[in-house]
Structure 1
Amino acid sequence: MPRVFDWAGQALLYGCFAVALGVFSRWPAYHPLPSGMAQIKVSFMHHGARLADCRPYTAEELAKLAPNMRKDMKCERERSPVSIEVDLDGQRVISHVSAPSGLSRDGVSTLYRRLDVPAGEHRISVRFKDDQSARGVVQQREAVVSLAPAQVLVIDYNAARGGIVLQ
């Protein structure tokens, strides 16, 4: 007889769990964006330019290195910070400088930002600089985009695809 109560209790608990799952899968209703809004995401991971150019080792520096560590050129590791500016309909909405990661400041610079904007047509201007020694902007892109409600536009930087990418 106690075995029947064990099975009945287990069935009751599983039933309660299934009901809870069913209720919370439909309620409360989740809306990632308010009605009539779209989203712009600015996201990149990029290595900035090296701060110092590679140079040949001097004879004294080569003599100090172990034979298996000797190379022709010495390249410093530190990289330039990456800056980005985004204008939406003539108004600056993002102006950010991302420092390189890592203890030696030689890793990637990253940024992730989300902007909720009204759906419709917008003029976007993106300026990107990954070389501290360069004067002015390194990459620039302007576009007019039409965003539908609940649409997500991603602004990224991909050198292999020509620089600033709107997708």
Structure 2
Amino acid sequence: MNRVFVLAGQALLYGGFALLIGVFSHWPAYAPLAADEALIKLSFVHHGKRIAECRPYTAAELAKLAPNMRAPLKCERERAPVTVELDIDGATAYRYTAAPSGLSRDGASTVYKRLEVRSGTHRITVRLRDTTATSGFNYQHEATVDLKPAQVLVIDFDPERGGIVLL
């Protein structure tokens, strides 16, 4: 008799958990975007150019180094920050300067921005600077895109494909 109550209690609890999971899997309703919106994701990881050019070691500097450390060139590790600008329909939608990662500031700069826009035709301009220059940009890409509702446009940086790419 005791065993019957235990099994009935377990069935009741498992049923309650299943009902709870079923209710919360359908309610409240979640929509990541409104019905007439699209999404633009600016996302890339890029190493800026080195701050200083490599230079040959002097004879005195080479003499101070251990024999296995005597490379012909001395290259500073620090890299330039990466600055990116995104214009949508002629207006600046995002501007960011990403510092290089790492303790020696020699790692990659990471940029991630998510922008919700109305679906339809938009003029996209993306500019990127990865040097220590204070004006001008090394890379620029302009395109007219037709975004459908709930479409995701990814803006990436791929040096093998010429720089800024829209996916």
- Give TM-score scaled by structure 2 length: 0.95
**What is the Cα deviation at residue 76 of structure 1?**
0.5
SS of residue matched to 2:117: strand
Deviation string 1:26-73 (CA, Å, 9 cap, x unpaired) is 111110011201111111110000011111112222222222222121
- Give TM-score scaled by structure 1 length: 0.95
CA distance in structure 2 between the aligned counterparts of 1:70 and 1:8, rounded to whole angstroms = 78
**What is the Cα deviation at residue 24 of structure 1?**
1.0
Match of 1:24 in 2: 24
Deviation string 1:121-162 (CA, Å, 9 cap, x unpaired) is 000111111112486210111000000011111111111121
> Does structure 1 residue 54 correspond to structure 2 residue 54?
yes
CA distance in structure 1 between the aligned counterparts of 2:48 and 2:111, rounded to whole angstroms = 13
Deviation string 1:81-119 (CA, Å, 9 cap, x unpaired) is 101111110101111111111111101101111111110
* Aligned ranges 1:15-94 → 2 under 5 Å: 15-94=15-94
Residues matched between the structures, number: 167
Structure 1 residue runs without a partner (length 5+) = none
Match of 1:110 in 2: 110
Match of 1:12 in 2: 12
SS of residue matched to 1:79: coil
Q: Which amino acid aligns with 1:58?
A: T
- Calculate the aligned-residue CA RMSD, in Å: 1.3
Q: Tell which deviates more after alignment, 62-71 or 108-117.
A: 62-71
**What is the Cα deviation at residue 6 of structure 1?**
2.1
SS of residue matched to 1:60: helix
Change (3 A) 1:90 1:135: closer
CA distance in structure 1 between the aligned counterparts of 2:9 and 2:158, rounded to whole angstroms = 58
SS of residue matched to 1:43: strand
Q: Which amino acid aligns with 2:54?
A: C
Change (3 A) 1:111 1:117: same
Q: Tell which deviates more after alignment, 84-93 or 130-139.
A: 130-139
Structure 2 residue runs without a partner (length 5+) = none
User: Percent same amino acid among aligned pairs?
Assistant: 62
